[in-house]
Amino acid sequence: MENRCPVALDVTGADIHGEAAALRKQGPATQVELPGGVVVWSLNSHSVIKRVLSDPRVTKSARNHWPAFINGQIPPDWEMISWIAMDNMVTAYGKDHVRLRKLVGSAFTRRRTEAIKPRIVELTQGLIAALESVPAGEVVDLRERFAYPLPAMLVADLIGMSEDARAKTAKVIDMMVDTTVTPEQAQAVLAGWRGAMAELIAAKRREPAEDITSDLIAARDEDGSRLSEEELTDTIFAILGAGSETTINFFDNSITALLTHPEQRALVTSGQVSWDEVIDETLRVESPLAHLPLRYAVEDIELDGVTIPRGDAILVNYSAIGRDPEVHGDTAGNFDITRENKEHLSFGHGPHFCLGAGIARAVATIGLSTLFERFPGLSLAVEPGELRPLPTFIMNGHRTLPVRLG
């Protein structure tokens, strides 16, 4: 492979799909520059990413396997520090990962997912009722009024967070996925979420309840060898962050896709095609996660002629996987709920596969079906081209979703 100067990833996320297509053409792995001049290997093809996600020579633990982080080359005020400095299952490797994941596993079983469905229905109906009071013809930001609060409130419920605390922490999470932030703002994000989680844990220690935070505190306080205090804080934050931002952008993308493809919307609202098909096609063509920071090579890794040297950082582009023409042909970028092959890896693959995929599918089905049933005249209030992308290369969604409810 020829040597190239790494391209800087566009921090404004203006055209993540165009950028991914260009990077994919450069080969199985190509170097890109992140904020702060940090160079990493970007992966954009389905087959290569699938292999890497389940390769035991690939880790997510910067503290154990990223020399640049360990030797201080990555400064503590690096713009993306929150992603790598946390200590939870998301950044753990091997036995540590298994231990940390197992501690919360019981909250994500099929039985527990079934048990929270009535709560999802209740939250959905509350948001729909508030929308019903909007005067006819008025433009509403459906991201703010539905796509955002439904997952955010659900995940806050799972960890036992009050509505007030959730609203405060939401700003921190929004800033964490914003790749245009300054190092000072990044520091504020880190301090912000650590503070919010510490408050939540203190409250649950005083008054335990039926939620994941109380369960984890019990595990920690019963036998400290199972979970350190930092792991406890960071695990709760991982669930909050991983569960909310992804699902918010899923709703944003699926609603946008249906509003811009009326013939497909008719197929699903008439019952000819199921909501599952809408969910998978949205996840394929508009993965809510774009680039997920970061993974590292534990050994030299050869990928179809390119060698990623041991210790180098790797950036998986989830938004590129489902659009790979090698798998989905020339129409890979088209939203089509009737296509046969909707293969995607938008819930991940390998040891870090999404713990909340069942919950995400449940809230997606209930949320979308209720919304489209209640507002059959729902329409976009702007031209699709006017929807502005989020200022990030980490998530894939819009800043606002202006609609008329009809």
Q: Interface with ligand HEM by CB under 6 A: which residues?
A: 89-90, 101, 155, 158, 238-239, 242-243, 246-247, 250, 288-289, 292, 318, 346-348, 352, 354-356, 359-360
Closer residue to ligand HEM in complex, CB, 281/381: 281
**Comparison of 139 and 354: residue with beta carbon closer to ligand HEM:** 354
Residue nearest to ligand HEM (CB): 356
Instruction: Pick the closer one to ligand HEM by CB: 183 or 348.
Output: 348
Compute the distance between CA of residue 386 and CA of residue 67 in angstroms, rounded to an integer.
43
251/255 Cα distance (integer angstroms): 6
Pairing mode, strands 313-317 and 379-380? unpaired
Closer to ligand HEM at the Cβ: 34 or 360? Answer: 360
Residue that the structure tokens 């001049």 belong to = 37
Smallest distance, Å, CB 348 to ligand HEM? 3
Smaller CB separation from ligand HEM, 48 or 381 = 48
CB of residue 291 vs ligand HEM: minimum separation in angstroms? 11
For residue 20, the Cα-to-chain-centroid distance in whole angstroms is 17
Cis? peptide before 227, omega within 30° of 0:
no
Q: Which is nearer to ligand HEM, 352 or 381 (CB)?
A: 352
Q: How far is the CB of 365 from ligand HEM (least distance, A)?
A: 11
Measured in whole angstroms, the distance separating CA 60 from the mean position of its chain's CA atoms is 16
The minimum distance between CB 353 and ligand HEM, in angstroms, equals 6
> Rounded to 5 degrees, what are φ and ψ at 43?
-115, 130
- Would you call 253 helix, strand, or coil by DSSP? helix
- Give least dist CB 182 to ligand HEM, A: 26
* CA count, 13 A, side-chain hemisphere, 146: 32
Give 117 or 404: the residue with its C-beta nearer to ligand HEM.
Answer: 117
Of 173, 167, 236, 154, nearest to 201 by C-alpha is 236
Residue 297 C-beta: closest distance to ligand HEM, Å: 15
Residue 189: alpha-carbon gap to chain centroid: 17
CB of 139 to ligand HEM, least distance (A): 26
Best CA proximity match to 143, nearest among 354, 389, 352: 389
Least distance from ligand HEM to the Cβ atom of residue 97, Å: 6
| Residue 314 neighbours by CB under 8 Å, 6+ apart | 29, 40, 41, 43, 52, 58, 294, 295, 296, 297, 308
Record the tokens describing residue 9, joined without a space: 């990833």
For the CB of residue 218, give the shortest distance to ligand HEM in the complex, in Å. 19
What tokens appear for 238 in the block? 């991982």
Cβ closest to ligand HEM, residue 280 vs residue 405: 280
Give min distance, CB of 253 to ligand HEM, in A: 9
- What is the C-alpha to C-alpha distance for residues 87 and 377, in angstroms, rounded to an integer? 46
Buried-state track 144-172, b at ≥16 Cβ within 10 A, e below 16 = ebbbbbbbbbbbbbbbbbeeebbeebbeb
> Which residue number, 16 or 289, has a Cβ lying nearer to ligand HEM?
289
Report the Cα 80 to chain-centroid distance in Å: 16
Name the one residue in this structure whose structure tokens are 């991982």. 238
CB 24 within 8 A of CB 324: yes
Q: Which is nearer to ligand HEM, 32 or 238 (CB)?
A: 238
